[in-house]
């Protein structure tokens, strides 16, 4: 029985390890953005916060619906037709892609604002 627990933990770690790492990074980025906004009130703090929140949503949703095993659950356990299962999976993939793309765009905007705010003139 102990061997099964280890195997379950290993499969969980392989399935959700990167997602948990992304959630941790997004939480750190969110705390950093809140501190920037409170301490210096730079306008890039808001875009950085929105970017990290939008990035947190699909990661948490990915774990909560157990996306890696969702295909099996919809097809075998619920008995849905394959076309409906594929439609659901494709829709979820597009939603995840859209949220990640929006987060990436806001992150790039934040980096540009950080560069413009802290740009110093240099003497050549």
Residue 100: which pLDDT band, with cuts at 50, 70 and 90?
very high
- Position 8 pLDDT exceeds 80: no
**Predicted local distance difference test score (pLDDT) of residue 27:** 94
pTM above 0.95, yes or no: no
Chain position carrying tokens 């979820």: 92
Residue 7: which pLDDT band, with cuts at 50, 70 and 90?
low
In this predicted model, what pLDDT tens digit does every residue of 50-80 receive, in sequence order? 999 999 999 999 999 988 888 889 989 889 9
3-state secondary structure 13-44: HHHHHHHHHHHHHHHHHHHHHHHHHHHHCCCH
How many residues are present in the chain? Answer: 124
Mean pLDDT of the 35-64 span: 88
């Amino acid at each position: 029985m102990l061997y099964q627990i280890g195997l379950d933990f290993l499969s969980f770690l392989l399935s959700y390890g990167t997602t948990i790492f992304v959630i941790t990074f997004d939480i750190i980025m969110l705390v950093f953005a809140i501190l920037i906004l409170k301490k210096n009130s730079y306008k890039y703090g808001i875009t950085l916060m929105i970017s990290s929140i939008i990035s947190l949503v699909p990661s948490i949703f990915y774990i909560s619906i157990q996306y890696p095993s969702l295909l099996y659950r919809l097809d075998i356990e619920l008995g849905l037709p394959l076309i409906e299962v594929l439609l659901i999976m494709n829709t979820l993939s597009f939603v995840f892609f859209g949220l990640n793309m929006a987060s990436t765009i806001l992150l790039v905007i934040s980096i540009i604002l950080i560069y413009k705010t802290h740009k110093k003139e240099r003497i050549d």
